Structure formats: C-alpha cells, structure tokens
Amino acid sequence: MTQHETTQHEVTQHETTQHAFFFDESRCIDCRACSFACRDWHDIKPGPVKFLRRFTWEEGAFPEVTMHTLFAPCYHCEKPACLKVCPNGAIWKEGRFGTVLVDEEKCQGCRNCWDACPYGAPQFASDVANGDSSVAKMSKCTMCSDRLKQGHMPTCVNACPSRALDFGPIEEMKSRYGDLQALRGMPDPAITKPAITFKPLAPKRQVVPYDAERARQLFGQRGDKLTPLYTDNAAVTDIEPGTVGKDRLDLKSPDSERALAATRSDEW
C-alpha cells in the first residue's frame, strides 16, 4: 500500500483526534534548539527549506524595546486552505492526528498551496515554479507523524529546554493553556482554524524605575568635546520604516532570499 492508503486504513483503527502545538512566547529564549532538532530529525540540508521557521522582530525604541519570537511550523489547520487549492490532490489530512501531509509524487510544484496558506508553511527548495521536479516539489512540517505513531512527541517539543512548547489533543491544549490561536500580527485564525494555541509575551515591567526620556537624552551625549549623536529624542523614537532590519512579522516572504533573512539563516 502507498503511504496514503496505509493512513486511510489506520483511520478505521483509531478515533480521529485533532492534535495541536502550544507555544509560550514568554518562555522562549530564542535558543533555536527546536530548529536544530527539526533539521536533524528530518535530515534537512542548509537552505531555504525549513519545516520549522522561527521569526524574531522588535518593537519600540530605546530603552523600551520589546523582542518578539514566533514558533512557526505548519499549524496543521482544521480547515487547511492549501488542501482546497491543490489541483493534483497532493495534499491531504491524515485522520488519526489531524496532520496535513503532502504526497510529493503527486505534487507538480504549482505553488497554489503557498499562495493560499496564510502562514507561508509550504516550502520549496527553488524559487522557480513548475521547474525541475527535483527542486520544485513542496515539502513541509509533518508534525513528526512518524514519531507520533510510536507514542513520542514531535522532536521540536522534546528539544525545547525552556519548555516553551507543548503538544497534544487540541481540546487538551485549549483547556490547559487557553484558546488564543493568533499572536499580534498573525492572520485571523478563523480563516483556517490552525491547530495551535499561544500564550503571548508578558508585558514588560520596570524592576528598577527609570525615566525613559532622560535615558534617551543621556544616550545622545558624547561628552564635552564631541557633538551629541542627537539633540532631539525624536531621532530615536520616530523610526522610519526599514531603519530596523526586523521591525515586523514577515510570515510570507516572496522569495528564498527574503525567507532566509526573515527566519535567520544561521541554524547550522
């Protein structure tokens, strides 16, 4: 039997339960252990294909800067937009864990799936659509379905040293952590019903009180013999778009160069 036929047979043996990830942004220390583990388990070579993407971006201005992180595998949506638009029937939803999978033998590299996915989860090793079949096939996070069948957690969850990740039946994740399914800047979860719940970054609090405006004034000074870096604090608070390299979440980069820049290309 093919992989698809085997899974369809298993559906009759197991009750269908949508499984989901949980991500706690406050606990993430941006160590990249999840990315290392994913690449190692799936033998993914360095390059634009990343089953698990990690996004980092900052908001605010000195000294009140906030760094955000996002764990972004495929979210294995309950209503996957990619599945609906594939003209070759290459994408399907496995019945035991709710995993969204791709049959690379059927995939023709048309990229309709990438266009439809609000999260940019489908991955391609080449920017050329409908090109060489060896590089144009779509691949993506599999939820480590091979590990799930053996009773193990996805490798990214096991690898997280700060326990920012968890995994299990979606209703269990919601009852344990809440039902927030999008962080700020992410698409409306009603579109595809992603199988993930989030805990957002905790608000910053001043452990040691300080005057932010005074700190900016002091930062601009360089002593009596050198001209100040700036005399108006607006120079560091009114930041023009593009000044900061990563000032927003960029889930859907149009090409591999932008994708590598958005998700950090230094996993190895």
Give the predicted TM-score (pTM) of the model. Answer: 0.87
The 10s digit of each residue's pLDDT in 203-255 is 988 899 999 999 999 999 998 889 999 999 999 999 888 888 888 899 998 88
DSSP 190-220: TTT--SEEEEPPPPP--SS---HHHHHHHHH
The 10s digit of each residue's pLDDT in 54-107 is 999 999 888 999 999 999 999 999 999 999 999 999 999 998 999 999 999 999
Which architecture does CATH list for 3-204+241-263?
A: 2-Layer Sandwich (3.30)
CA dihedral 160, 164, 166, 170 (to 10 degrees): -150
Residue 86 near residue 101, CB atoms below 8 Å: no
In the chain, % helix, strand, coil (3-state, to 5) comes to 25, 15, 60
The 10s digit of each residue's pLDDT in 13-32 is 446 799 999 999 999 999 99
pLDDT at 265: 55
Distance CA 230, CA 243 (A): 16
Domains of the chain: which residue ranges? 3-204+241-263
pLDDT at 243: 85
Structure-block tokens of residue 44: 């993914």
Count of alpha carbons within 13 angstroms of residue 50, beta-carbon side: 30
Q: Which residue has the tokens 């049959």?
A: 103
Answer with the residue of higher pLDDT: 123 or 244: 123
DSSP 64-108: EEEEEEEEES----SS-HHHHH-TT--EEE-TTT--EEE-TTT--
The 10s digit of each residue's pLDDT in 143-178 is 999 999 999 999 999 999 999 999 999 999 999 999
